[in-house]
Structure 1
Amino acid sequence: MADFLFEIGLEEVPARMIAGAQAELARRVSALLERERLVGAGTSAKSFSTPRRLAVLVSNVAERQEDAAEELMGPPVKVAFKDGAATAAAIAFAKKAGVAVEALRTVTTPKGDYIAATLLKAGRSAAEVVAEELPKELAAIYWSKNMYWRAGKPERFVRPVRWMVALLGSEVVPVAFGGKAAGKVTYGHRVLFGDAAIALEAPVKYEEALLTAYVIADVEARRQKIRKALDRVTRTKEGARWREDHELVDTLTHLTEWASDRSVILGGFEPEYLALPEEVLVTVMRDHQKYLAVEEKTGKLAPHFLAVLNTEAEDKGLAVIRHGNERVLRARFNDARFFWEFDQRVPLKERTKLLENVTFQKELGSYAAKATRVRGLALGLAELVTARGGRVDAAALDEAATLAKTDLTTELVKEFTELQGVVGGLYARAQGVSAAASDAIYDQYLPESMEDSVPRTVEGSLLSIADKADTIAGMFGLGIEPTGSKDPFALRRAANGIVKILAESSLPLTLSEVAGRATENEAVETRVRAFLIERLEFYLRESRGQAYDVVKAVLAAGSDDVRDAVARAEAVTAVRSSADFEAVSAAFKRIKNILAQAKGELGMGAVADGLAADHPAQAALKLEASRVGEKVEHLRASHQYVAALESVATLRPQVDAFFEQVMVMDPDEKVRRSRLALLASIVKSFSGIADFSEIVTAG
């Protein structure tokens, strides 16, 4: 056994692509070694990445495959032999298997007798297997964008390959990809270490060797080093703290190879810029300069920022770098201040006509047309909410929907597109628009991800749903739907947002109502509703952490009311570990199988009640199912789902006795139909919360 190390060195890879590629490389290498019988099942691999490299280290890799016996199936015996003599079919099969005709065996299968041969497959060396298979795995790694870099050569990759390391123990594995052959030489930090080659003695020396060359290959170690450096540098300014931003720290981690106190600078800017909205200042620092904001103890923004460098310098050098970063930020702030003041000359209410010149989608028209559709949809949904006792400020919603997209015509949004919606809300507030309308405009794009919060107000939630639903309905109407990994109009994200709002707000709306109000075509409505249900399934699994069988069981019982589906899923999860509930779930699976097989008999008319032939166990189940059914229906109506499911589980003794003592498919037609009808009524009565037959049970 030996350790296996593979590293591919590249030109700098965009930070957003690194984490996924690192995980995929580790997964592919592990799967390759397991598939080729070079490691045991479930072997873990440690992966590494920096902007210039992806690497994976796997322990206990066999240096050679074990020989394996493989059974090959041939033609039927009656084709392979005629009157005891081998036919051409048998001879050809024996030649293919590499054995004599006399070595062929007869194997009996459900389809009849076939000839077979045992092929002894000699194991190959790990180096030979990896050299042959690993380039295929590299070529299959998914990149959102990749490139050709060698004229006339077929390979494509995210960036040009500059070097590769492939070591099994101390021996080089001859992997070739992208015009480069693997060796045992890697490279350190481009600036701090230069172009000197680093010869690796063994895979386990990889991290240590790179540390001496100013590269922290372990991503988590580099992240923690950056965070500690941020803490220490910020403490030099009394009362200051850096504003937590996990996403930006992740980005900075993937932009750097090295981190130390001398890799972080604390810069400042003139306090006068604090007169600009905080959202504008933070966006300029975060999204355009990759700077972390600094705040006072009160949480108020301070006139400072933190920059993380992919290098380090002495005090004099840091001062020069700090000055340069401050000068760049000052220029960006000046631009933002100019745009903020310039845009205010034309109020949002006067910008609605300008939306006619801003295209939403060439076949769906301008943003002015979209604003009109969204306004009608939002007000229509508001009527449903009001009719069910909800409170909506219709005037504020109307105004918000009318002005929602006008900030797309402002210079500030043209320069800082990340602020669309936010700028509209800020301008609306500054121009005297009501707080309810301003907040709705500000929140209209929320949630942009499953980690985002939903809009703060009912009006904001309705505007967000209407905007997203209009986009989905319009694109589906044009036949533009997400396929595989392609979703150019981010329709999945829009649908995720609708589901999240309905799940985490108090809006009494269903998916059918949203789909129905957003579309005018029945076929499109059906597809949109199915799409929203698919995203509800995703939400329950990924955001709520529900097991796939629980999600399937719950949605089979109803998927229109999102908040109700969430509550039912949580209730099923809460009781599924109960032995009684598991037994009842298994019984429901059995019941549904029986009913499926007897489907033709269930529609043959009414069944006489209380037949004399009723078995005592059948009568007991019928009585208890009726009693529990009434209780469950009462609990279900008041959304007490845990209590309702616990009541369903109390049927276990009667259900067990029924299946132990009663033959459902009795030869007597009346008796058989009576028992089938009882089982059908039980399924109907108790499947309102979840389809219990979908729950995976032991065995």
Structure 2
Amino acid sequence: MADFLFEIGLEEVPARMIASAQAELATRVEALLGRERLLEEGSLVTSYSTPRRLAVVVTGVRTQQPDAVEEMLGPSLKVAYKDGEPTPAAAAFAKKAGVSLSELKTVTNAKGEYLGATVTRPGKAAVEVIAAELPKEIAGVYWAKNMYWRAGKPERFVRPVKWMIALLGEAVVPVEFAGVSAGNTTRGHRILFGAEAITIARPAEYLAALEKAFVLADVAVRRQKIRKALDAVTRTVSGARWREDLELVETVTHLTEWPYVVLGSFETGYLELPEEVLVTVMRDHQKYFAVEDAGGKLAAHFLTVLNIEPDAEGLEIIRTGNERVLSARFNDARFFWEFDQKTTLVNRMENLKHVTFQKDLGSYFAKAERVRKVAAELVRLCEERKTDADAAALDQAATIAKTDLTCELVKEFTELQGVVGGLYARAQGLSEAVALAVYDQYLPASMEDAVPRTVEGLLLSISDKADTIGGMFGLGLEPTGSKDPFGLRRAANGIVKMLAEAKLPLLLSEIAGLGSEHSATATKVEQFFTERVEFYLKDVKGYAYDVVKAVQSAGADDVPDAVARAQAVTEVRGSEDFAAISAAFKRMKNILTQAREKGENAAWTPDFLVEPAERTLAEESGRLAAWVEGQRREKQYVEALQTIATLRPHVDAFFDKVMVMAPEARLRAARLGLLNRVLQDFSRIADFSEIVAAG
């Protein structure tokens, strides 16, 4: 048994691609060793990465495959022997199995008697197996973008391969990929250590050897070093703290091998610009962390994470250079901010006629008109259902929502679209309701984002997304498989999230109908929304798949209601009575399905019921149905489900005492009708037949 180390060295890999590739390579290496019977019980797989390398270390790897005993099945005895003598088919099978004819045996199975052989295949050396199989796994790693770098050669990878290490214990595994042969040497930090090769004698020395060469290969260690350095450097400014940004921390972690944090400053006059603009320039364009004072307001400082530890003189040069670059970017932002103010958002409407939304759907001007119509209908529905919204403010917000696309600031900093429109609306004296709606119109961009802060913002965002989805579906441009070039799944996810979390009184079918020109398109969009509700309930809220299926079977048009019902089913599903009644409902559903397939009639005719158990079930279910319906209307779902569970003894008695498929047609129809009525009356919260009972 030995440890296995594999490292592939590359030219710098884009930070956004590293984490997923690191995880995939580890999964592939573990799967390879597992299927080749090289993993000992308790083996541990650990992965590492930097911008220049991906690495996997596996403990407890066998140096030799164990022998494999295989049972082989050959031709039938009728084919293998003729007149008691072996035929060529028998001889060919013996040769294939690597045994003599006398070692063949007879195997009897459901199809008859066949020749069989027990074959022991000796295990191969792990070095041989890994060398043959690992290149396939390397080539299989997914990258969003690949490249060729050797003329006439087939391999593609994210960046050119520069070196590889493959060590099993102290032995080099002769892995070859992209013209590079694995050895036992790696490279340290390009600047701090230079081009000198570092020899790794055994896998256990890997991390320590790299650290001496100014490389922290462990991502978690590197991340922690960055966070501690951000804290320490920020403490040099009285009362300051760096603005927490998990995504940026991950980015700079994957941009560095030996991180070092530097504090810089900028002129306080720039703080007159909106924070959103300043932070976007720092974060998205320069990868700088913003610094704030004790009150949470932006301070005139920033933090940058270097991939080098400079001396005192170099540190000052780097600090000054970063400050100069940031000052130039802020100057650009200030110029665009002031220049854009010369033309109001309202006066920019005509400009939208020259900005294309989609070639078949027209300009953003046309889109704005469609969104206004959808928004007007949604606000009407909300007001009918006692949810207040400022219709005039929503209409004005929908009118000017996309005008910031014509602004110079957005052209320069595209990440600020919507945000800039909201800031300009406020600066130009439009109401706060209009400004906030425009500002939040693209929220939520992901399931981690907050939803818009106001009803007007929610309705504008829903209207915009519904128009995009309906328009694209109308053109036949709906998502297929993993392809979603227009981000329609993300848009639909956003609609579902807004309805669920803001508890708006709107139905998905209504939104689908308003955003689509034709009923056929609306039907397809509604189905698409239903799929996104399933995703939200299962993947975002974490409800079990059978709970989600049960709730959706009872309808998911009202998203907040579907969430509430899923929560209620989750709370009560653990009870013995609920599990039993769910199993009984499944039985009822199966009986009814089989009866329909046979053309049986299911007529609710209680007077035809004769057995005490079935009459009791009919009476008790009728009594409870009215009670449950009242609880359902009041959305007291837990109480309603608990009430339904009390039907269990009557259902149990029915199945114990009554034969549903009675010989007499009229009685059979009445009993089927009773089961059908019970299912209909008690499946409006969830279809309990979909619940998977333990065991």
Could you tell me the TM-score, scaled by structure 1's length? 0.95
Alignment of 1:218-229 (within 5 A): 218-229=218-229
Pick from 509, 524, 538: which aligns with 1:512?
509
Cα deviation, residue 196, structure 1: 1.8
Distance, in Å, in 2 between the alignment partners of 1:98 and 1:572 is 59
Instruction: Show the counterpart of 1:355.
Output: 352
Pick from 613, 622, 628: which aligns with 2:624?
628
Q: Is the 8 A contact 2:604 2:674 kept in 1?
A: no
Deviations 1:574-600 (A, max 9, x none): 122222222222222233223222224
Distance, in Å, in 2 between the alignment partners of 1:636 and 1:125 is 66
- 2:109 counterpart letter in structure 1: T
Distance, in Å, in 1 between the alignment partners of 2:30 and 2:563 is 36
- 1:445 counterpart letter in structure 2: Y
Structure 1 residues 501 and 608, CA gap change in structure 2 (3 angstroms): closer
Instruction: Show the counterpart of 2:396.
Output: 399
Instruction: Show the counterpart of 1:536.
Output: 533
Distance, in Å, in 1 between the alignment partners of 2:257 and 2:463 is 44
The percent of aligned pairs where both chains have the same amino acid is 65
Instruction: Show the counterpart of 1:659.
Output: 655
Structure 1 residues 33 and 392, CA gap change in structure 2 (3 angstroms): same
Instruction: Show the counterpart of 2:237.
Output: 237
Distance, in Å, in 2 between the alignment partners of 1:80 and 1:604 is 57
What secondary structure does 1:69 align onto? strand
Alignment of 1:224-303 (within 5 A): 224-259=224-259, 263-303=260-300
Pick from 667, 687, 691: which aligns with 2:683?
687
- 1:637 counterpart letter in structure 2: R
Instruction: Show the counterpart of 1:182.
Output: 182
Cα deviation, residue 24, structure 1: 1.0
Distance, in Å, in 1 between the alignment partners of 2:442 and 2:656 is 58
Pick from 519, 528, 536: which aligns with 1:522?
519
Distance, in Å, in 2 between the alignment partners of 1:306 and 1:203 is 36
Distance, in Å, in 2 between the alignment partners of 1:595 and 1:86 is 57
What secondary structure does 2:606 align onto? coil
Instruction: Show the counterpart of 1:193.
Output: 193
Distance, in Å, in 1 between the alignment partners of 2:386 and 2:75 is 73
Alignment of 1:432-581 (within 5 A): 432-581=429-578
Q: Is the 8 A contact 1:291 1:305 kept in 2?
A: yes
Cα deviation, residue 188, structure 1: 1.4
Cα deviation, residue 301, structure 1: 0.6
Distance, in Å, in 2 between the alignment partners of 1:607 and 1:27 is 57
Deviations 1:165-190 (A, max 9, x none): 11112211221112111111111111
- Larger deviation, residues 492-501 vs 37-46: 37-46
- Larger deviation, residues 90-99 vs 508-517: 90-99
Alignment of 1:83-162 (within 5 A): 92-100=92-100, 103-109=104-110, 116-162=116-162
Instruction: Show the counterpart of 2:425.
Output: 428
Deviations 1:630-668 (A, max 9, x none): 222211111111111222222333333443444434445
Cα deviation, residue 676, structure 1: 2.9
- 1:646 counterpart letter in structure 2: Q
Deviations 1:477-520 (A, max 9, x none): 22222223322211111111111111111321111111111112
Pick from 333, 338, 345: which aligns with 1:336?
333
Alignment of 1:568-647 (within 5 A): 568-600=565-597, 603-604=600-601, 606=603, 608-611=605-608, 613-614=610-611, 616-647=612-643
Structure 2 gap ranges (5+): none
Structure 1 residues 489 and 556, CA gap change in structure 2 (3 angstroms): same
Cα deviation, residue 431, structure 1: 0.8
Cα deviation, residue 414, structure 1: 0.3
Q: Is the 8 A contact 1:348 1:403 kept in 2?
A: yes
Instruction: Show the counterpart of 2:51.
Output: 51
Structure 1 residues 203 and 610, CA gap change in structure 2 (3 angstroms): farther
Instruction: Show the counterpart of 2:210.
Output: 210
- Larger deviation, residues 636-645 vs 580-589: 580-589
Deviations 1:209-235 (A, max 9, x none): 211111111111111111111001000
Distance, in Å, in 2 between the alignment partners of 1:87 and 1:681 is 67
Q: Is the 8 A contact 2:609 2:615 kept in 1?
A: no
- Larger deviation, residues 469-478 vs 32-41: 32-41
What secondary structure does 2:360 align onto? coil
What secondary structure does 1:677 align onto? helix
Q: Is the 8 A contact 2:15 2:255 kept in 1?
A: yes
- Larger deviation, residues 500-509 vs 404-413: 500-509
Structure 1 residues 622 and 74, CA gap change in structure 2 (3 angstroms): farther
Instruction: Show the counterpart of 1:385.
Output: 382
Structure 1 residues 645 and 225, CA gap change in structure 2 (3 angstroms): same
Cα deviation, residue 698, structure 1: 1.7
What secondary structure does 1:71 align onto? strand
CA RMSD after TM alignment: 2.1
- 2:108 counterpart letter in structure 1: V
Structure 1 residues 87 and 557, CA gap change in structure 2 (3 angstroms): farther
Cα deviation, residue 424, structure 1: 0.5
Distance, in Å, in 2 between the alignment partners of 1:25 and 1:250 is 19
Q: Is the 8 A contact 2:349 2:403 kept in 1?
A: yes
Cα deviation, residue 107, structure 1: 3.0
- 1:635 counterpart letter in structure 2: Q
Distance, in Å, in 1 between the alignment partners of 2:6 and 2:622 is 65
What secondary structure does 1:351 align onto? helix
How many residues align? The count is: 694
- Larger deviation, residues 21-30 vs 227-236: 21-30
Q: Is the 8 A contact 1:107 1:116 kept in 2?
A: no
Distance, in Å, in 2 between the alignment partners of 1:121 and 1:398 is 76
Distance, in Å, in 1 between the alignment partners of 2:429 and 2:540 is 38
Deviations 1:596-618 (A, max 9, x none): 2222467525354254641x443
Structure 1 residues 80 and 509, CA gap change in structure 2 (3 angstroms): farther
- 2:533 counterpart letter in structure 1: L
Structure 1 residues 604 and 698, CA gap change in structure 2 (3 angstroms): same
Structure 1 residues 85 and 529, CA gap change in structure 2 (3 angstroms): farther
Deviations 1:37-62 (A, max 9, x none): 22257855211111111111122112
Q: Is the 8 A contact 1:509 1:561 kept in 2?
A: yes
Distance, in Å, in 1 between the alignment partners of 2:517 and 2:81 is 67
Distance, in Å, in 2 between the alignment partners of 1:648 and 1:83 is 71
Structure 1 residues 407 and 658, CA gap change in structure 2 (3 angstroms): same
Matched, 1:372 2:377: no
Q: Is the 8 A contact 1:34 1:41 kept in 2?
A: no
Distance, in Å, in 2 between the alignment partners of 1:99 and 1:526 is 64
Distance, in Å, in 1 between the alignment partners of 2:245 and 2:390 is 34
Q: Is the 8 A contact 2:609 2:671 kept in 1?
A: no
Q: Is the 8 A contact 1:30 1:44 kept in 2?
A: no
Structure 1 residues 427 and 184, CA gap change in structure 2 (3 angstroms): same
Distance, in Å, in 1 between the alignment partners of 2:367 and 2:604 is 57
- 2:67 counterpart letter in structure 1: D
Structure 1 gap ranges (5+): none
Distance, in Å, in 1 between the alignment partners of 2:42 and 2:539 is 24
What secondary structure does 1:489 align onto? coil
Could you tell me the TM-score, scaled by structure 2's length? 0.95
- 1:231 counterpart letter in structure 2: D
What secondary structure does 2:59 align onto? strand
Distance, in Å, in 2 between the alignment partners of 1:671 and 1:37 is 62
